Structure 1
Amino acid sequence: MTPLAAIHVANKQLGLDEDTARDLYQRVTGKRSLREMNDRELTFIITEQRQRGFKPAEKGLQGPFAKKLQALWIAAWNLGIVRDRTDAAMLSFVRRQTGIEHTRFLLDADDAAKAIDALKAWMTREAGVDWSQTVATASWLTPSGAKIALAQWQMLSVTKAVEPNGFRKFVWDKAKPLDQMADRDWPAVMNQLGEMVRKAKA
């Protein structure tokens, strides 16, 4: 649902006629017309409507940053630092970081960055994920999935669950040679390593 559609649904749900709705817009943004508002201002209107009791139907994750946030959340779960893998838990985290209730209302890149950067910093602090890109970075280590999988391997090496130098062979056995790995290939490896990480931490 787009922000505009959500606002119209909320007006109907809250029983606001056109004049009353425009009064609300004016008070929150200084503008009486939705057409004059940017995405951030529309989000302010939705937040106000929610405070008045609007309850949008929950239909899974939506919004331009939802997939990225979900992928990072599952990666954090596979690193053993997130205990609850569910979308509901991720939405609670996003709400704490941004003050925005749902990914469908997370439309501003700066707002999304608050949650994305907080998740990445947590993964670096608790699991040693190195997000840096340098000229010396091996090409196979460019995807985020590779960085996360390598951090998983290093965590497992510390617990003696795997051989420190066995990462290349493990990836090849589970997927394909390192230099042939694409972004879409890494989730299967991360999920497999995630099971091992959670077992080691149990």
Structure 2
Amino acid sequence: MDLKDWLAACPLVAILRGLKPEEALGIGEALVASGIAVLEVPLNSPSPLESIRILANRFGEDALVGAGTVTDPADCARIAGVGGRLIVTPHADPAVVRAAKAEGMICIPGFFTPGEAFALLKAGADGLKLFPAEAGSPAMLKALLAVLPKGTRVLPVGGIDAANIPAWRAAGAGGFGIGSAIYRPGDDAAAVAAKAAALRLA
């Protein structure tokens, strides 16, 4: 499946910052059971490659598992080596996009300006992460989508929760990266499942 298919099934990307490997299975089960099948473990989490390996082994083709906060192109091969199939960056670096695509991975790099967006798409990005979204607005997204190639999927990330999803959705958001509104370190599977349900409703 490509990014379009994953987001059509559910437009939410769970950003599991701070996830520990011993929690990965329980949290992953809760999310996938809730219908959220794109799971991102930021590289500034404890032992992120181990968590990605556990999630990728358990969910295989049922979830798109990968890494966030990727800033070094060389990390793409390491992430692919443990079964990761998704690369998300906090910044606009075409070199990371090219490295991810060379590994056959889906890549959603971060951007904030039209110039960054077009450079990333030229490098092969599958979608774009509008970050930090709380510094922008749904009106900004609507204006960007008017000039980006038709069908470009832009995912606001940063401060996204059940309350503001509808406004971003109305502006044309192709999906959403959800951080603390879906998982905070210390949350158990039941808490994550409850938050996931509220976000799915939104």
Structure number with the higher helix fraction is 1
Structure number with the higher strand fraction is 2
More contact order relative to length (CA 8 Å, sep ≥ 6): 2
Shared fold, TM over 0.5: no
TM-score by length of 2: 0.25
